[in-house]
Structure 1
Amino acid sequence: MELSRRGALGGLAAIGAVGAVGFMGASAVDDPATDEDETDAHYVEVDPETPFIARLVDDDGDRELFTAADLVHVQGVHPDDEEYLVFIELTETGRERFQDELAAAGAEADPDGFEIVMTLDGAVVREVSLDGPTVDALTDEEWEGVVTLPFVDEDLAEDVYEALAGM
């Protein structure tokens, strides 16, 4: 299976700091292309031991949304305009945990003031402010747990991809 570009880019609308700065979701995972598409080589299982953590942060503190152990696949790095995309796919349990934590924190009812902070080996690699359309899409029961992480810095995108891929 390969994370489809159509699914990855069509999953969530561009969302304030989330879309403009770069955090979009994908709604589908497709079977891999049958030709020698170079993206096939970049679709791999995630190393669950990678020190990658996503936290939901607000004025009251933070809570863990998911770690590398909650991810099943990573695909990247794909140039797109002036960004470099890395796709991550949560396990079913990871997706449920992610959605449960958003609800438990109150982000569904009032997403403003919440952000998702992702770290790799303790260093922040993504910060995403949440808004209503983002939270609605992430908590939709049809969402399959695929997230697009755009980066302006190609080296940072490569570092995140390689770490999650266990390279």
Structure 2
Amino acid sequence: MQPSRRTLLGALGTSVLTLGTGCAGSLPTSDDSTAVDQTAAANPTAAADRITADPSATFEVRLHGPDTDHLLFDGEDLERVGPVESSRAGAAALPVALTESATADVTETVRSAGVSENVDAFEIVQTYDGEEMGRFGIAPSLADAIATDEWDGQIYLSFAERAQAERVRDAFVASDQT
């Protein structure tokens, strides 16, 4: 029997988030320090860009769970966006860094919902201009990092297709930036 699309996307999303929170380094910082993610380390020209959000674009990341539907963050809460990365399975990941205040808000929302106590009961839902772009589980390592104040606001957003990730990234990064 074939697994459902939701099951596949959930497993893929969890894998990408686990890799993103457990293995990758930091996104390049705004002060040109040497902190980079793995893609940037392998390719010195890859760097995170500051956000120049398209005001007509609506991007949201929500937490869904038992009796829970909370906005975690939207495009205005992004501080930096890294280059789109591809997985071996053909999916894509978009590394982002949240603002300090958004990081605090997400931390409080995730804690108050009790995600770390029952991580399998929750999922992340991403929408862009009203279209669902991804729905996936939360990696236990991410839930634990948030619960123990070890999360720094960096996360890999998962997309089933690279074109989706590029579309979202393009909405937040000026075309003249590198």
**TM-score higher than 0.5 here?**
yes
The 5 Å alignment of 1:90-129 reads: 90-129=98-137
Q: CA deviation at 1:67?
A: 1.0
> Which one of 52, 70, 75 corresponds to residue 63 of structure 1?
70
> Which one of 45, 48, 51 corresponds to residue 46 of structure 1?
51
RMSD of aligned Cα (Å): 2.7
Letter in 2 for 1:126: G
Is 2:51–2:172's contact at 8 Å kept on the other side of the alignment? yes
Specify which structure has the higher proportion of strand: 1
Q: CA deviation at 1:166?
A: 4.7
Larger radius of gyration: 2
> Which one of 74, 78, 98 corresponds to residue 85 of structure 2?
78
Corresponding residue SS for 1:138:
helix
Q: CA deviation at 1:109?
A: 2.3
Q: Distance in 2 between matches of 1:132 and 1:19?
A: 9
1:37 aligned partner: 44
Corresponding residue SS for 2:141:
helix
Change (3 A) 1:55 1:75: same
Residue segments in structure 2 that go unaligned for 5+ positions in a row: 1-9, 35-39
1:18 aligned partner: 13
Post-superposition CA distance 1:88-131 (Å, at most 9, x none): 00111111111100011121322221111011111111212135
Q: Aligned residue pairs: how many?
A: 149
- Given the two structures, how large is their TM-score scaled by the length of structure 1? 0.74
The 5 Å alignment of 1:110-149 reads: 110-130=118-138, 132-149=140-157
Q: Distance in 1 between matches of 2:11 and 2:159?
A: 15
Post-superposition CA distance 1:55-87 (Å, at most 9, x none): 111231401111111110101123343333311
- Given the two structures, how large is their TM-score scaled by the length of structure 2? 0.70
